Amino acid sequence: MNYKKALYIACLVVVILEVLFLKVMHLGHGYFEFEELPAFGALVGLLGTLFIIIVAKSLSKVVTKKEDYYD
């Protein structure tokens, strides 16, 4: 078994265990209904990270100087 396949299997096992743990322990109670979706926190984290990357790239176009600025 190659490492890539083993990594995918390990990730799948972790996701399944997380969902089962939340269902058994009833820790997934959110204030809103959509907060109880599986992996909601991961999705919010992903969207937040993408937002930060997009803002940083936009700011870099505004803030950076041309290569020959000091010449």
- Predicted TM-score (pTM) of this structure: 0.53
Q: Is the pLDDT of residue 1 over 90?
A: no
pLDDT given for residue 28 in this prediction: 53
Higher pLDDT, 6 or 20: 6
Asked if 30 and 36 touch (Cβ cutoff 8 Å), the reply is: yes
pLDDT in tens, 13-68: 998 888 888 777 766 567 888 887 778 888 999 999 999 999 999 999 888 888 88
Q: How far, CA to CA in Å, does 30 sit from each of 2, 26, 34, 48?
A: 39, 11, 8, 19
